[in-house]
Structure 1
Amino acid sequence: MEAETTTDTDQTRLWDRAGGWSGVLTAVALLALTRLGQVLMIWWLNAATAEPRPVWERLLVWDAGWFLRVAMDGYPDTYTYDANGVLQGNELAFFPVYPMLIRGGAALGIPPSTAAIAVAWIASVGAAVGLHLLGTSLYNKRAGWALVAICCSAPVSVVMSMAYSESIYLALVAGMLVAAHRKVWWAAGLLGLLTALSRPTGAAAAVALAVAAFLAVRESRREMWKPITAAAVALAGVPLYLGWVALRIGEPTAWFKIQTAGWGTSFDYGSSTLSFLNTTLRTGDGWIPMSVALILLVALAAAGVALFQRPWLPLAVYGVVAMVLVYGQAGFYHSKPRLLLPVLLTLLPAVVAAARARPRVAVLSILAWAAFGLWYGAYLITVWPFTL
């Protein structure tokens, strides 16, 4: 099943093709089922831990604290050092869109932690709608629903329930891709800029929009300024934030130094990933490292199958660039499945297969996938002691 192309006559029919309000509400209901299942899994596993904590606290761990500090205290003016003068990571590593939304919620009188969860959950609704429209625009209505169900129940989709930026990023990148596929360039440019200001991998989304703009200009030079402007706006996002950090600190590579100091994140062309896979698959004895290694390998295979199926070129480019950024950087190995969640390209073979299969087969297959994925994510934030 190849991705469909957009024509002038079908641009206005996307809402109808997606099933109208009924279709969109079905997508939101699928999201709600995954989030309810996720919370129940967290509650179930949490009760068996040595030190049970409220489910709410489980959703506010690790990166959530960094986002809350940015939202309430703002960004620091300089580097952060420990008592021995060693450079540490600080809040400047975190892109601004999600913290700004948290601050907006807090300005309305909502407690910051509540605002952080509320923004993530509301954004997840936007992500479900965006994913359904994207799957419908590229393929058909069933593919749209399958994309929502498969993405929102994937391993480590638990971050969509947490005070993390994945929900807002997924909503923005899906919306940008829909707008670009439908040639609504003003929306694509705006969403592309916000995507790029949400996470570093927003650079991959901006490149995808540039490819979509190139294809549109090659197809027709009429009003070519619209796609070109949209691409330029999106491409400016990541450099704008990195440049702002550089000016604030007074050093061009400031953001990269902060990332490396705090999280060991640096682009090493995949050396660390290859080393992790080699060590884990040959001598690893922990099931979490082994599962992460298998997820990385399966994701690569799935991306290869997806590319063989010839998806819409901008989505393919987005997925490939995003995967290069994930696999090519050093950092916590157990964070890589989370970083792969918004890639989407890796999910396309399953989405296409579910859209083609008999409804009963598709439902049972996705339920099996969801049972594992939701349990896996819940395990990582209750039993597994390390950050995602």
Structure 2
Amino acid sequence: MADHALTQPAPRGWKALPAALRIGILYLVSRAVTTSFLLLAGTLVSPDSRFGQSATLGSFAMGWDAYWYWLIGQEGYPATLPLTDSGEVAENQWAFMPVYPVLAKIVGLPFEAVVWPGAPSWGIGAFLVSIVAGYLACLVLYRMLRMRIDATAATWAALFFASGPLAALFHVGYAESLFLLWLFLSLWVVQRREYGWLYALIPLMGFTRPGVLAFALFLGLYGISRWVRRRREPLPVREIVHIVALGLLAVIVGFSWQVIAGLFTGRPDAYLATELAWRQAAVPGDRFVPFEGFIQGAALWFGRIWGLGEVTGYIVLAASVLALTALLLFEPHVKRLGVEIRLWVASYLVYLLAVFFPQSSVFRLLVPVSPLWGAVAQPRSVAYRIGVLALCLLGQWWWIYNMYALANTAFWTIP
């Protein structure tokens, strides 16, 4: 009887497959669906689309911010900042980090003789980097969530991530896929207390795309959390040293790009002035004040664009902050994901509130909170999970249609 009670039936069929293969199959199916959406979008391009009437997968891959990454791969960064007719700093390459475009250029070198309609060899390299990094990010997300929830829920979470509204990012020349890979690896090694890996992952994150300062905040909050819980969970001196040193490293890396841009151009505010150039169409100005962007955005969207009044915007902003705080503190499915994921999400949202001006890019900039798919996937109802997947695909088509089929240049329709 005891032997029978202790013996569990061996996994069979789908569950018997290695996790890397299961996630790989789901990822490939998801990429096939996204490709079909992009192809459909290519047949529906509007007359005023920036992609023209002959849009292809290659031109989509090279669209929007991918142009700036390609320019970095081709020309590097400007020593003199370009100016608008009014004398303000214009949009330029300094807003984008070097790891992704350089890696895409290297990967694309063997394809220089290959013709991909709408894209040079760099575009092939960017596509390969994005799609491979996306798969690896899905796999690491599964491994990370598997430490807190069961295998079925973790698999569904990875599928939601692979099929989500922003899944087209796995196909185009954006740095998000690569950044998410570094981020998920970083959170996973913190969960495993294997801090040594972070000395390499933090610089990789920091020079792939902005956001490493959020990780610095996360490490600070994580260190405080571990200190408060040190009687229940021992906190050796070795771990204290690592957490403090890595937090300082993340701060240094986070501010280093501003220093590099200033030294290279001879203008100390080169990076901040470049970032502000992207706001000029909505809120002209030449200064950066932390947290001001969301306050301005609330007034702009609810007041000038939607006509609901600036006060309504401020109330909605405050209510959203309170609701997200309550979600991270009290929602049981979120709590089950562990302190590391919850502190990361909180840190990243604070970072966004501090530095970002809300417009249509906010959907893309929220992708780093994707570990929360682990909370969404926990309810066991198959009907519920299929419903979530259907909503993911619906959102994905909506995003692709607006950003690639319509693809006009209004500041509220930019991915």
State the TM-score, normalized to the length of structure 2: 0.76
Residues in 1 aligned to 2:407 and 2:95: alpha-carbon distance in whole angstroms: 24
Corresponding residue number in structure 2 for 1:317: 343
Q: Distance in 1 between matches of 2:167 and 2:221?
A: 28
Q: Is the 8 A contact 1:263 1:332 kept in 2?
A: no
Distance 2:16 2:264 in 1: 47
Identity %: 19
Match of 2:366 in 1: 340
Residue of structure 2 equivalent to 1:237: 253
> CA offsets per residue over residues 198-231 of structure 1, 9 Å max, x none?
2222211232234445555643224233343333
Indicate yes or no: 2:54 matched with 1:63. no
SS at match of 2:238: coil
Instruction: Please tell me whether residue 147 in structure 1 is matched to residue 157 in structure 2.
Output: yes
The counterpart of 1:160, out of the listed 170, 175, 180, is 170
Aligned to 1:287: none
Give 3-state SS (helix, strand or coil) of 1:199's partner.
coil
Instruction: Map 1:81-120 onto structure 2 (within 5 A).
Output: 81-82=83-84, 85-108=87-110, 110=112, 111-120=121-130
- Return 5+ residue gaps in structure 2 as ranges: 1-14, 47-52, 113-120, 309-315
SS in 2 for 1:81: coil
Tell me: CA distance 1:329–1:211, structure 2 relative to 1, closer, same or farther (3 Å). closer
Shift of 1:141: 1.9
Match of 2:78 in 1: 76
Displacement of 1:233 after TM fit? 2.8
Question: CA, structure 1 residues 381+354, in 2 after alignment: closer, same or farther (shift >3 Å)?
Answer: same
Once the two structures are TM-superposed, the CA of residue 373 in structure 1 deviates from its matched residue by 2.1
Structure label with greater radius of gyration: 2
| One-letter amino acid of the structure 2 residue matched with residue 383 of structure 1 | L
Residue aligning to 2:298 = 274
Greater alpha carbon shift after TM alignment, 228-237 vs 175-184: 228-237
Q: 1:247 — aligned with what?
A: 263
Q: In 1, distance between residues paired with 2:322 and 2:17?
A: 35
Task: Work out the CA distance in 1 between the residues paired with 2:295 and 2:256.
Answer: 29
Q: Which has the larger displacement, 317-326 or 122-131? A: 317-326
Return closer, same or farther for 1:100/1:373 CA change in 2, 3 Å cut-off.
same
Question: Structure 2 counterpart of 1:48, which letter?
Answer: L
CA distance in 2, matches of 1:297, 1:150: 27
> Quick one: structure 1 residues 227 and 271, their matched pair in 2 at CA, closer, same or farther if it must change by over 3 Å?
closer
- Cα offset, 1:249, TM superposition: 2.3
2:397 pairs with one of 364, 372, 375: 375
Q: 1:324 & 1:353 partners in 2: Cα distance?
A: 22
- Secondary structure, counterpart of 1:270 in structure 2: helix
- Determine if contact 2:154/2:377 at 8 Å carries over to the other structure: no
Closer/same/farther in 2, CA of residues 382 and 81 from structure 1, 3 Å limit: same
1:276 deviates by 4.0
CA contact (8 A) 1:157 1:377 kept: no
Find the residue that maps to 1:251 and give its secondary structure. coil
State the distance in 2 between where 1:216 and 1:302 align: 23
The residue number in structure 2 matching 1:355 is 378
Q: What is the Cα deviation at residue 300 of structure 1?
A: 8.0
Stretch of structure 1 that moved more, 258-267 or 146-155: 258-267
The aligned amino acid for 1:273 is G
Letter in 2 for 1:255: Y
Matched residue count? 357
Q: 1:115 to 1:26 in 2, by over 3 A?
A: same
Any idea what the Cα deviations from partners look like across 1:142-191, whole Å, max 9, x if unmatched?
23223222223222332222110110111111110001100111113322
1:283 aligned to 2:283?
A: no
Rounded to whole Å, the distance in 2 between the matches of 1:214 and 1:81 is 44
In the superposition, relative to structure 1, how do residues 47 and 187 fare at CA in structure 2: closer, same or farther (>3 Å)? same
Letter of the aligned partner of 1:385 in structure 2? N
| CA distance 1:140–1:298, change in 2 (3 Å) | farther
1 or 2, which has the higher helix percentage?
Answer: 1
Partner SS, residue 94 of structure 2: helix
Q: What is the CA distance between 1:303 and its match in structure 2?
A: 6.4
Tell me how large the CA RMSD over aligned residues is: 3.0
Go from structure 1 to structure 2 and tell me whether the alpha carbon gap of 1:137 and 1:43 turns closer, same or farther (over 3 Å shift): same
Distance 2:216 2:125 in 1: 28
